[in-house]
Amino acid sequence: QRHLISAADLTRDDAVLILDTAEEMARVADRPIKKLPTLRGRTVVNLFFEDSTRTRISFEAAEKRLSADVINFSAKGSSVSKGESLKDTAQTLEAMGVDAVVIRHGASGAPYRLANSGWIDAAVINAGDGTHQHPTQALLDAFTLRRRLVGRDTGLGQDLSGKRITIVGDVLHSRVARSNVDLLHTLGAEVTLVAPPTLVPVGVESWPCEVSYDLDSTLPKCDAVMMLRVQRERMNAAFFPTEREYSRRYGLDGDRMARLPEHAIVMHPGPMVRGMEITAEVADSGRCTAVEQVANGVSIRMAVLYLLLGGNEPAVTHSRTEEK
């Protein structure tokens, strides 16, 4: 069974294959008819237990562009509110003939459980689980970085060797940060995390990255800065500096953006909290790739679905988490 559960499960060659396939998929978006017949007759369910705008809609767009039949499931308004379990929900959907499940869940590990429990036979794609992983976000970020820092055509077959990426903000609660540290390291980039001491996870010393508490000294040395959303909904108020204090020390405004090298880009996975981690001036500037990242997300999700369900190429990944 093939799944995509964690960015840590991808080898360099897996990741480069996905990025190269996504470049092919991006050409479909440039055509007058933005569709491929690849997944005709296959059914994909988008199983969302947590809110989403970008991931849910871009998976749906990707599935439709590959001609799959799409079922959208949101926990709100379903029998989950009556106490139905993940197992029973998944088996109910599989009884309807599902080939793949795209799952977002508030509990870290839910996609892994679904993929390895024997409850269902469908391929499982993690669309974000708790504070654990969001592998397609990391892939679309790597795709954006490769296009901007290496080149759309010259980047084919290439990784991100030597590129310096700074990830800033609420690392503690961020599955985006964890996925990006794993994938960017695999692709040869040098990653620095910058966060207030209260928002740095225990055990970060074992992650393949540097940690700094000083944003201003880090900015002049990076090729890209990735701002994270402050996830107040997952946070105990006691952990959090005041909004004013946070944006003063860790927010990206116009003055700080001017410290970046001229070629460097500003990234944000969305949703952005303007005025907190990023000012409107920066978010709306030509250096911010947040909207481009969303567009790239459709190509990446088409590539992942194609490789897992429809492609003749080697597998995207076997979950090595299973072997640990």
Which residues are known binding-site members?
54-55, 82, 104, 134, 137, 175, 229, 270-271
The minimum distance between CB 86 and ligand CP, in angstroms, equals 20
H helices present in 187-310, as ranges:
215-218, 243-250, 254-257, 280-283, 290-305
Residues 235-264 that bind ligand CP (CB under 6 A): none
- Residue 38 or 179: the one with the smaller Cβ distance to ligand CP is 179
Q: Does 52 bind ligand CP (CB under 6 A)?
A: yes
Residue among 270, 275, 295, 311 that touches ligand CP (CB under 6 A): 270
Q: Which of 9-17, 182-190, 209-217, 268-276 is the region at the interface with ligand CP (rule: CB under 6 A)?
A: 268-276
The minimum distance between CB 196 and ligand CP, in angstroms, equals 22
Residues in the chain: 324
Residue among 2, 29, 36, 54 that touches ligand CP (CB under 6 A): 54
Q: Does 158 bind ligand CP (CB under 6 A)?
A: no
- Joined tokens for residue 272: 């952005």
Q: Does 53 bind ligand CP (CB under 6 A)?
A: yes
Residue among 111, 128, 130, 135 that touches ligand CP (CB under 6 A): 128
Cis omega before residue 269 (within 30°)?
no
How far apart, in whole angstroms, are the C-alpha atoms of residue 50 and residue 320? 26
The alpha carbon torsion through 146, 151, 153, 156 (nearest 10 deg) reads -30
Q: Which of 52-60, 117-125, 177-185, 235-243 is the region at the interface with ligand CP (rule: CB under 6 A)?
A: 52-60
How far apart, in whole angstroms, are the C-alpha atoms of residue 12 and residue 7? 11
Residue among 21, 137, 296, 317 that touches ligand CP (CB under 6 A): 137
How far apart, in whole angstroms, are the C-alpha atoms of residue 252 and residue 280? 10
Q: What are phi and psi of 102, to 5 degrees?
A: -100, 115
Rg, Å, the chain Cα set: 19
Residue among 269, 278, 317, 319 that touches ligand CP (CB under 6 A): 269
Residue numbers belonging to the annotated binding site for L-aspartate: 82, 175, 229
How far is the CA of 322 from the CAs of 112, 119, 231, in angstroms? Answer: 8, 15, 29
The minimum distance between CB 167 and ligand CP, in angstroms, equals 14
For 177: left if phi > 0, alpha if psi spans -120 to 50, otherwise beta; the answer is alpha
Q: Which of 49-57, 63-71, 111-119, 193-201 is the region at the interface with ligand CP (rule: CB under 6 A)?
A: 49-57
- What residues have CB less than 8 Å from 48, skipping those under 6 apart? 56, 72, 73, 74, 75, 103, 104, 127
- Residue 120 or 224: the one with the smaller Cβ distance to ligand CP is 224
The minimum distance between CB 174 and ligand CP, in angstroms, equals 10
Residues 277-306 that bind ligand CP (CB under 6 A): none
How far is the CA of 26 from the CAs of 137, 143, 209, 219, in angstroms? Answer: 16, 11, 31, 31
- Residue 52 or 74: the one with the smaller Cβ distance to ligand CP is 52
Q: In 3-state terms, what secondary structure has residue 74?
A: strand
The minimum distance between CB 244 and ligand CP, in angstroms, equals 26
Q: Which of 6-14, 23-31, 53-61, 161-169 is the region at the interface with ligand CP (rule: CB under 6 A)?
A: 53-61
The minimum distance between CB 173 and ligand CP, in angstroms, equals 13
Three-state SS letters, 79-113: HHHHCCCHHHHHHHHHCCCCCEEEEEECCCCHHHH
Residues in touch with ligand CP (CB under 6 A): 52-55, 128, 137, 269-271
